[in-house]
Structure 1
């Protein structure tokens, strides 16, 4: 009785005539757009700030290694099924206290997001499309029966945390403050059920450019032994459980001289993702260039960078906004693409470029793919990028860094 009653109280599932939840019957949960708890929502006005007594100082920007340095404070918000969201606190960064029986430690009840705060040349601090991260995090929470939340309320608190830690945002071009919102199940219970307690926390890490010395195209291994996701699974969600199984296959391909796995699906070997990134293939078809990315079919993570690249490309094609140096005529396709098609494109000289996209690297160019014992060679430009990726990357980074005005840049204020 516990799990069904808890779900009825906490989740806005869509009712259908036969009384069953359609999303649950398909193993797929979607966020309804409303927070799960009706008792107490996240209340930014109740924020408590506990200042650290041992503040650290930001290290030199040149010494930054991605994900190794953290700021002085973090945001924490507890949740329980009886009381809803508790008092939000910005407190000193430090260890979390968890019971050994906490559900996150046994059943991987954890979700997370990755977003960045940027400082422009005038010192203004902005977030890039944070509404998309909040929407995706709520979707991930619903999928694993963690509590959803008011996106605007959490974003307001994240902005306050960034404002407090603003001195940790590097001023050098290409640098940023990486923001990691995370939610975990904390109930003391060894059993499979929606947790009655959870913790939402946010930490920050100053980071430099992914390629500090210029773009370095990477080699991929198209694995036919392991998969990242399957239909009806959790590939479209940012769950901790999706990432740990990818570590061992990556270690294996690293020994073969490849940087990442190219994840395939099905006997036709459809391309899905690159490592932890979305992926794009550029093909030449006669006088036409086609920018291809796999569709959001439930196995693909709906990346913020992916969506941004597609939006910019389509705006350019439609004439809504022209991107300098980007070819005038090409098409954008969200469609399935197989390794056979990539092989044939290389053999005919019609493979133009291939790259991954994500928050960390923005764009990661690829120069070869190991597949069934042979290497497929991918063209790259003098700087490592191609004729489609380079202009779009320049446009996107300009919007992130504030050199190109954009509604996607959301100011961070106290």
Structure 2
């Protein structure tokens, strides 16, 4: 068990009402920090009051973007228990990311123990309102003070928490998506399969353009041919075409698509329910043609924040695909109900996905 020194705040925050939280806008009282130094390894694990981080201006995180992050949630059940959803998957994905970015690798047990310890300290910040949760943001930053493009020798692994309301304030409403065919998110051999800030920074311009045109998200195509669908916004995406469910290939150690924890869980559920899940390349032209033939039945995104995001419309160049008359599809609804049911403890966990905290 990780030995963590805990220093409680002397100025606790006034908690915002659960129905006024939004997403990622308010933060809890404390944060977890553990340091890494070459030759010493990970050391000095602590939970301290939430606040600014003292950083040398030459720290390589500022200059060469050696950083990465994860996202998961803590849920309060009807029995007033607090639980996590598959934190081991987040820990393993962060390890893959750290290896790709030449960052020190945080052991899985330290990652999970730290998350559990911080959530237990911050248990009063886990909202009670249905659909709300405590969003948990672990991240790693390179702290070596040097200029020069070299892997860092020092780092910090930090966790902060943000009590967040239901992602869909107005309910599970299907969205419009713009298919981006100019900018690209990732290329083979790059960092598309990991969670680093640079991936998201590079996506902002296309997202801004799409939003100004009235779209909620951008659907990214592959970086080589601009032909095959990959991700949508910060989510993985699925297409139900003529009874089969398609999604892009995502590898834990290479590739261009993030291997989402929600994505992985959805695939497991679909296969358990008897669906033929096709994982691989799917051309945008195939999707648009399926729409014309009446075979494009449902489209939905998957991710930690939204869990499931139904899609009602895809716009690609001058072509438009309308999905299920603008309504959420029956399979999409079933997946959402099942995933959130397990996460909030309304349905039994038959797969060992839930990790109790307190």
Q: TM-score range by the shorter chain?
A: over 0.9
Q: State the distance in 2 between where 1:64 and 1:186 align.
A: 32
Instruction: Give, in angstroms, the shift of residue 267 of structure 1.
Output: 2.6
Q: State the distance in 2 between where 1:247 and 1:67 align.
A: 18
Q: State the distance in 2 between where 1:104 and 1:268 align.
A: 31
Instruction: Give, in angstroms, the shift of residue 221 of structure 1.
Output: 1.0
Partner of 2:311: 366
Contact conserved, 1:368 with 1:378, CA < 8 A, in 2? yes
Larger radius of gyration: 1
Q: 1:280 aligns with which of 238, 244, 254?
A: 238
TM-score, normalising length from structure 1?
0.83
Q: State the distance in 1 between where 2:127 and 2:57 align.
A: 38
Whether 1:120 and 2:77 are equivalent positions in the alignment is yes
Whether 1:132 and 2:75 are equivalent positions in the alignment is no
Contact conserved, 1:103 with 1:185, CA < 8 A, in 2? yes
Instruction: Give, in angstroms, the shift of residue 374 of structure 1.
Output: 3.0
Q: Which consecutive unaligned segments of at least 5 residues does structure 2 have? A: none
Contact conserved, 2:67 with 2:139, CA < 8 A, in 1? yes
Q: 1:331 to 1:190 in 2, by over 3 A?
A: same
Structure 1 runs of 4+ aligned residues shifted over 4 Å read: none
Instruction: Give, in angstroms, the shift of residue 268 of structure 1.
Output: 5.7
Contact conserved, 1:117 with 1:179, CA < 8 A, in 2? yes
Partner of 1:350: 295
TM-score, normalising length from structure 2?
0.96
Contact conserved, 1:353 with 1:380, CA < 8 A, in 2? no
Q: 1:150 aligns with which of 107, 111, 121?
A: 107
Contact conserved, 2:72 with 2:136, CA < 8 A, in 1? yes
Query: Secondary structure of the residue that 2:273 maps to in structure 1?
Result: helix
Partner of 2:187: 230
Instruction: Give, in angstroms, the shift of residue 153 of structure 1.
Output: 2.2
Alpha-carbon displacement from aligned partner over 1:260-314 (angstroms, at most 9, x marks no partner): 1100013361000000100000111xxxx00111112511100000011010111
Pairing 1:10-409 to 2, within 5 Å after superposition: 44-45=2-3, 47-265=4-222, 266-267=224-225, 269-284=227-242, 289-296=243-250, 298-317=255-274, 330-380=275-325, 384-406=327-349, 407-409=352-354
Q: State the distance in 2 between where 1:194 and 1:93 align.
A: 28
Query: Secondary structure of the residue that 2:114 maps to in structure 1?
Result: helix
Instruction: Give, in angstroms, the shift of residue 212 of structure 1.
Output: 2.3
Instruction: Give, in angstroms, the shift of residue 164 of structure 1.
Output: 0.7
Query: Secondary structure of the residue that 1:57 maps to in structure 2?
Result: coil
Whether 1:412 and 2:357 are equivalent positions in the alignment is yes
Q: 1:166 to 1:380 in 2, by over 3 A?
A: farther
Q: State the distance in 2 between where 1:253 and 1:373 align.
A: 15
Query: Secondary structure of the residue that 2:276 maps to in structure 1?
Result: strand
Q: State the distance in 2 between where 1:81 and 1:277 align.
A: 35
RMSD (Å), alpha carbons: 1.2
Instruction: Give, in angstroms, the shift of residue 59 of structure 1.
Output: 0.7
Q: Which consecutive unaligned segments of at least 5 residues does structure 1 have? A: 1-42, 318-329
Q: Matched residue pairs, number? A: 352
Instruction: Give, in angstroms, the shift of residue 405 of structure 1.
Output: 1.6
Query: Secondary structure of the residue that 2:88 maps to in structure 1?
Result: helix
Instruction: Give, in angstroms, the shift of residue 387 of structure 1.
Output: 2.0
Contact conserved, 1:268 with 1:338, CA < 8 A, in 2? no
Q: State the distance in 2 between where 1:159 and 1:380 align.
A: 43
